[in-house]
Amino acid sequence: MEYYDLRKAGNDIDFVIHKDDHAILLNTYPNNVKDLCGDIGVCEQEFEIWNQICTFGYEELRLNAIEESCFLIVSLEKLLFLKALAMEIPKYHKDLELVVDLVLRRAYGKL
């Protein structure tokens, strides 16, 4: 969200990594694991490193991603989709509205 200048980042930073790398982290930090409906996060300091988000893993989320120096930023379209999946949570519903507004501004200019 912050990359797209929609809002400041929260207290943690979420990463999705390849399943093989994630398995190594699970073995390294077995006491720092979070399970959200099958999405497994390894939470170390301010980072949450996930095997998937809403069942979408690294391979799906990397499609059309924006390349930065040592990581990828999920595409705006995928971000919109992920926020829509979680829109029953008020914070994510607000995020969804912000993403939709950006998509419409990019398509039509100022609304």
Claim to verify: residue 25 and residue 63 sit in the same structural domain = yes
Q: Report the pLDDT value the prediction gives residue 47, as an integer from 0 to 100.
A: 85
Residue 106 has pLDDT above 80, yes or no: yes
Claim to verify: residue 38 and residue 83 sit in the same structural domain = no
- Work out the average pLDDT over 9-15: 83
Claim to verify: residue 54 and residue 35 sit in the same structural domain = yes
Residue 45 has pLDDT above 90, yes or no: no
Considering the domain boundaries, does residue 1 fall inside one?
Answer: no
Q: Report the pLDDT value the prediction gives residue 27, as an integer from 0 to 100.
A: 96
pLDDT digits (tens, 9 = 90+) for 52-90: 999 999 999 999 999 999 999 999 999 999 999 999 999
Give dist(CA 45, CA 30) in Å, integer.
14
- Work out the average pLDDT over 42-51: 89
Q: Report the pLDDT value the prediction gives residue 10, as an integer from 0 to 100.
A: 79
SS3 53: strand
Which residues, 6+ apart, have CB-to-CB distance to 63 below 8 Å? 75, 78
Q: How many domains does the chain have?
A: 2
pTM score of the predicted model: 0.85
Claim to verify: residue 14 and residue 47 sit in the same structural domain = yes
Q: What is the spatial order of strands in the sheet that 47-50 belongs to? A: 13-16, 47-50, 39-44, 33-36
pLDDT band per the 50, 70, 90 thresholds, residue 111: low
Claim to verify: residue 25 and residue 60 sit in the same structural domain = yes
pLDDT digits (tens, 9 = 90+) for 16-28: 999 999 999 999 9
Q: Which residues span the domain enclosing 57?
A: 6-74
Claim to verify: residue 20 and residue 65 sit in the same structural domain = yes
